[in-house]
Amino acid sequence: MALQINIENAKEVDALVEEITGLHAAIAKLPSLNPSPDVDALFTELVTACVPPSPVDVTKLGPGAQEMREGLIRLCSEAEGKLEAHYSDMLAAFDNPLDHLGMFPYYSNYINLSKLEYELLARYVPGGIAPARVAFIGSGPLPLSSFVLAARHLPDTMFDNYDLCGAANDRTSKLFRADTDVGARMSFHTADVADLAGELGEYDVVFLAALVGMAAEDKAKVIAHLGTHMADGAALVVRGARGFLYPIVDLEDIGRGGFEVLAVCHPDDDVVNSVIIAQKSKDVHVSGLHSGRAVGGQSSRGTVPVVSPPCRFGEMVADVTQKREEFANAEVAF
């Protein structure tokens, strides 16, 4: 029975890698990654292939598949930035852009992801959370995560959003110009996380976007830097992988960075990010933690909980398709 399962898993892995390789080749041939019917169709197909649970362990792929995966992640990063910039410009044309965020086809994803992260923080951070200040590292040109968290879950919290790209921050400032509530609690800073030091100690929670630190060693350096400068007891939320879409986050790197991992979530629904909740600690016990797609681990409080929400992936695909159809004419109008 075990042998049969292994054979079936191997066939499933081979089939998925072959499918992803074909999609990578098609995406790489596109003349541009700006939003268009061809770009949208290929990336929708890619997400559809990657989101359902599978036995693929991307850390064990051969050199050729690893090279393909790294190239695909770079393409995903570029396309995601262009998609967000495109919709940010569209939204900025409205008198109050925040009233029209539903135009973005993946807005429901951000609603679900932010709700998941807030609930994980509330459940697993000792004493719960009521943060006065939050930092979001890698906020981009369309900071939906910060907006949803501020508007729906943290109504009294100040948010500092950091991004390397000055143009991205120029776009975001236009989105919040007319809002006297959430807009008044949002600040945007053009900075490299490596250049932040004392200010990191002022935050109760720091969110690290999935595409900050594209290579594993870069991600580890960012986490170590945060661990050096964040305050003891502050929470860190690290967004991680669907292994073909985003860089993998190694739990041991989080432990070595000075954090205790409190919970790990690999959603099997419409949320395409894994989520890791950690806390800055003077006394971090990292033995027993597993890297990559962790199935468990030990913290100073015992076993690290691994959370998997109910699957709503089919609803997400239907919603995205509907949104794209609804706003196709609106995109042309702008």
144-161 pLDDT tens trace: 999 999 999 999 999 999
Q: Across residues 63-86, what is the average pLDDT?
A: 91
Q: Across residues 34-43, what is the average pLDDT?
A: 94
pLDDT (tens digit per residue) in 307-326:
554 333 333 333 434 444 44
pLDDT (tens digit per residue) in 244-284:
777 778 889 999 999 999 999 887 766 777 899 999 986 65
Q: Across residues 18-38, what is the average pLDDT?
A: 95
User: Domain 102-284 is classified in which CATH homologous superfamily?
Assistant: Vaccinia Virus protein VP39 (3.40.50.150)
Residue 261 has what pLDDT? 95
Residue 223 has what pLDDT? 96
Exposed / middle / buried, residue 221 (Cβ in 10 Å: 0-12, 13-18, 19+):
middle
Q: Is the pLDDT of residue 1 over 60?
A: no
Q: Across residues 198-219, what is the average pLDDT?
A: 91
More confident residue, 26 or 3: 26
Q: Is the pLDDT of residue 5 over 70?
A: no
pLDDT (tens digit per residue) in 159-180:
999 999 999 999 999 999 889 8
Residue 249 has what pLDDT? 84
Residue 62 has what pLDDT? 87
Residue 68 has what pLDDT? 92
Among residues of the chain, what percentage have pLDDT more than 90? 57
More confident residue, 309 or 14: 14
Residue 326 has what pLDDT? 47
Residue range(s) occupied by CATH 3.40.50.150 in the chain: 102-284
Q: Which of 34-38, 85-89, 262-266, 276-280 has the lowest mean pLDDT?
A: 262-266
Phi–psi pair at 284, nearest 5 degrees: -105, 130
Residue 257 has what pLDDT? 94
Q: Average per-residue pLDDT in the chain?
A: 82
pTM of the predicted model as reported, rounded to 2 decimal places: 0.82
Q: Is the pLDDT of residue 224 over 90?
A: yes
Residue 184 has what pLDDT? 93
More confident residue, 131 or 244: 131
